[in-house]
Structure 1
Amino acid sequence: MSTDAPPGTARPPMTVLVADGNTRRARALSDDLRADPSLHVLSVPAGMALIDAVRQHQPDVVLVDMGRADRDALDSIRALSQPALERPVALFVDRDDVQLMETAFDIGICSYNVLDAPPDDVKPLLRAAIALYSRFQRTRGELTEAQRKLAEQKLVDQAKRLFMKNENATEDQAYRWFRRRAMQSARRIAAVAADYLSAHDRNDAP
């Protein structure tokens, strides 16, 4: 989904999917965007669900112009929270609503814009939405990795304590035993620890 290109090469067009229940407004917005050669603009066909259009076209960014949006209208955007479908979403509304804005950010909208009409040049808004989305993804990935490491360490510590109790071993001896088994089986120490705990009564663990 990246729009970056190697130095000295042309940047590929950014694919924008326009979603708007107002067919006339959607057509006018799409026509304006298509005047920019750096954008590849697609529209959600009448009768097609937004989630299906995203699945089909795999856009770089989704631009939603809802007019007076409401929470029901946000349900289709919420469906994009599936990992395989997540995309940065820029939302245009024509009425300020703090609660609606908070709901929009809660469901993953990256750019919430209160405008009577989309500006002549929406590229800065679209690129900002992509940048914010990328930053959020990195932060979430880092958090997930930290949680994984914490859970693995907790598992290893539990297995070491049980090993120390069962084998009358020191903590260093327990760790070396699990590390050796991990190296022999080419697996993570946490996986070996999980097998050890499964093979023994967890209720015996201190």
Structure 2
Amino acid sequence: MGKKIVIADDEPITIMDISEILTEEGYNVVAEVSDGFDAIEACRQHKPDLALLDIKMPLLSGIKAARIIKEEELAETIVFLTAYSNKDFISQAKEVGIMGYLVKPVDKASLLPVIELAIAKGEEMVDIKENIKVLKSKLEKRKLISRAKGILMDSEGLSEEAAYNKIRKLSMDKRCSMKEIAHVIIINNNCLGN
């Protein structure tokens, strides 16, 4: 099954044309909606690889919908579809963090490269965000263990290596992570008022 795409446009003929092109190319169009509110709901339900949003739609504009979709991480990437190409819309698209901008009418030759590049960039962004989470977690673990080592060094007169080894041994004995043992040492130290 191809990449999942949500299409939001208030012109049914535009949705039909784009959906047909994407389906023929192996993409999985999981939702076709006509306003920004429904676009958000479709993204919540399907978590698509790409949301293709018209800028001007009833109820909630594509720009406002895109902000919510980005904030809540409901789609990997977003491309704007619009009949308007003025600088104000383009600057708003940049501000929201959109990966592509298509001006109607759209044909296969202009649609597919933008969609493919936007999906590739969206995947890169997901990888980057995941790497950042992993690095933050590792940094937090190091900080906790370092702090716990310092507490053991002060309270038990241990060397840094001996304090580290004690944390590691407790971790193995209790069958939990060194981070969890470090956290307990820090909490215990705070409760004792040291």
> Do structure 1's residue 185 and structure 2's residue 185 form an aligned pair?
no
**Sequence identity percentage:** 20
User: Which position in structure 1 is the counterpart of 2:91?
Assistant: 99
Closer/same/farther in 2, CA of residues 79 and 148 from structure 1, 3 Å limit: same
2:134 pairs, out of 138, 145, 155, with 145
1:59 maps to amino acid: P
What displacement does 1:48 show?
5.5
TM-score by length of 1: 0.76
1:54 maps to amino acid: C
Structure 2: tracts of 5 or more residues without a match = none
TM-score by length of 2: 0.80
Deviations 1:73-116 (A, max 9, x none): 42212222324x233212123213252132121xxx222x2524
> Do structure 1's residue 125 and structure 2's residue 117 form an aligned pair?
no
Structure 1: tracts of 5 or more residues without a match = 1-11
Closer/same/farther in 2, CA of residues 14 and 73 from structure 1, 3 Å limit: closer
Q: Would the aligned equivalents of 1:96 and 1:114 in 2 still touch at CA under 8 Å?
A: no
Q: Would the aligned equivalents of 1:67 and 1:92 in 2 still touch at CA under 8 Å?
A: no
CA distance in 2, matches of 1:67, 1:170: 66
Q: Would the aligned equivalents of 2:9 and 2:15 in 1 still touch at CA under 8 Å?
A: yes
- Secondary structure at the residue paired with 2:107? coil
> Do structure 1's residue 161 and structure 2's residue 150 form an aligned pair?
yes
* RMSD of aligned Cα (Å): 2.7
Q: Would the aligned equivalents of 2:8 and 2:54 in 1 still touch at CA under 8 Å?
A: yes
What displacement does 1:145 show?
1.2
1:38 pairs, out of 9, 16, 26, with 26
What displacement does 1:179 show?
0.4
Q: Would the aligned equivalents of 2:80 and 2:93 in 1 still touch at CA under 8 Å?
A: no
Greater per-residue helix proportion: 2
